[in-house]
Amino acid sequence: MSQSELPFLPFALPEIGEEEIAEVVDTLRSGWVTTGPKARRFEADFAAWLGDPTLHCIAVNSATAGLHLALEALGIGPGDEVITTTHTFTATAEVVRYLGADVKLVDIDPATLNIDIAAIEAAITPRTKALIPVHYAGLAVDMPALLALAKKHGLRVVEDAAHALPSTIGGQLVGTLASDVTVFSFYANKTITTGEGGMLVTRDDTLAARAKVMRLHGMSRDAFDRFTATVPSWYYEIVAPGFKYNLTDIAAALGIHQLKRANAFQHKRTQLAALYNKALAGLPVILPPMPAAGDLHSWHLYVLRLAPGAPITRNALIESLYAAGIGCSVHYIPLHLHPYWRDRYDLSPEQFPHSQAAYEAMLSLPLYTRMDEGDLMRVVTAVRQALGA
Ligand SMILES: *Cc1c(COP(=O)(O)O)cnc(C)c1O
């Protein structure tokens, strides 16, 4: 068969097994479909999986919700500035604007594609209150350096770990580091999925208490607490104008079983990334940055960049992959190019030369656990042909 006769190879696909399906069915039959026993179990399992049952793990209906709750609990508001990378999804930055605070975008380090720590330091002003590092593609940010910088300037740190399940830095799992809050995503294309969902992780009792209250309308007790109590328990108090960010038990049922497979998924993704690295070496491309020896990369994304002088453009490469029946994507169109961010903060590409150059050269190839070596070699063949190699 020629490439074009093969079935379309999508950019991403979740891997949902029979255990997940059975758990969802059990939830549906149980009579309790919203936040309840399964969400509690997912939270406890998550803390155990991180290896520290004393961590507060708070299940939410998206990572965006978790980031919003984190910044709210930290007291970020009008007049404050929060620094993050321009090379991310808009969710990382929009939550700052929800609270009326301002976003300071900075450039990336072209070697890692992660936020440039020197650029953070240069962007700090007396208004700066917090940093949001993003573990881009699943390669952990140099957190020891970032946390030292935050400490020096008295800044709070919220990790956007949407890509980083699991990733390590200096052998330590993202989620267990010394930042204030870490937020994971279980969106459909992330390394584990609940359809939509997220997890807010913190060691701080006060932040955890605030996030729990704000997750559900600013209510002093949640519905599960009230309806499962054995004494009359209709009473609750509203202590703040909270949000509706709780994770349903239907979603948590998926999460319980996805989490059990997270390490095996990471292992498979690492193998696929290594195959890509081997098969694409020697082409006019820049292979993805690698973690330090002994550290885990989640390989949420496999980001390839065309080398300077490559015979075709990134857009032409994407078109030829689609013509060969292969889906791919670009992570990300940097925030400084989007009309809202550009106009709000008067941004231009010259302020972010590394992000801009990476964006113009990059594409994300399919990488997911349901791919086999044949699927992967099909992608490699299509890339080689497009490059005339
Ligand atoms: C997916 C993603 C988010 C948002 O996650 P949701 O669970 O969809 O809200 C935030 N930041 C980054 C970097 C992401 O990739």
Choose the final residue of a domain: 233, 260, 287.
260
Strands 56-60 and 198-202: antiparallel
Residue among 354, 362, 356, 349 nearest 307 (CA):
362
Picking from 210, 225, 260, the residue at the C-terminal end of a domain is: 260
Residue 190 annotated as catalytic: yes
Q: Could you tell me the CATH number of the domain that includes residue 145?
A: 3.40.640.10
Same domain, 166 and 54: yes
Q: Average per-residue pLDDT in the chain?
A: 96
CA of 298 to the centre of ligand 1 (A): 15
pLDDT of residue 1: 52
pLDDT of residue 227: 67
How sure is the predictor about 232, in pLDDT bands with cuts at 50, 70 and 90?
confident
**What is the pLDDT averaged over residues 13-24?**
98
Catalytic residue among 38, 129, 190, 268: 190
Query: Of 67, 134, 187, which is best to mutate to test ligand 1, by the most ligand atoms within 8 angstroms of its C-beta?
Result: 187
Identify the band that residue 130 occupies on the pLDDT scale cut at 50, 70 and 90: very high
Q: What is the 3-state secondary structure (H, E, C) of 182-237?
A: EEEECCCCCCCCCCCCEEEEECCHHHHHHHHHHHECCECCCHHHHHHCCCCCCCCC
| Domain housing 151 | 18-260
Q: 46 with 176, same domain?
A: yes
Q: Which atom of ligand 1 is nearest to the CA of 160?
A: 11
Q: Does the pLDDT value for residue 201 go beyond 70?
A: yes
Q: How far apart are the CA of 241 and the centre of ligand 1, in A?
A: 24
Asked whether residue 295 falls in the same domain as residue 183, the answer is no
**Which atom of ligand 1 is nearest the CA belonging to 300?**
15
Q: What is the mean pLDDT of residues 341-346?
A: 98
pLDDT digits (tens, 9 = 90+) for 278-320: 999 999 999 999 999 999 999 999 999 999 999 999 999 999 9
Please give the full DSSP string across 240-288, using - where no structure is assigned: S---B-BPPHHHHHHHHHHHHTHHHHHHHHHHHHHHHHHHHTTSSEEPP
Relative to beta strand 181-185, strand 156-160 is parallel
Mean pLDDT of 46-62: 96
The answer on 273 and 256 residing in a single domain is no
On whether the CB atoms of residues 171 and 295 are closer than 8 A, the answer is: yes
The model's confidence at residue 220, banded by pLDDT at 50, 70 and 90, is: confident
Per-residue pLDDT at 122 = 98
Which residue, 200, 230, 260, sits at the end of a domain?
A: 260
Residue 4 in any domain: the answer is no
* DSSP-based three-state secondary structure for 111: coil
Mutate to test the pocket of ligand 1, among 11, 69, 90, 92 (most ligand atoms within 8 A of CB): 92
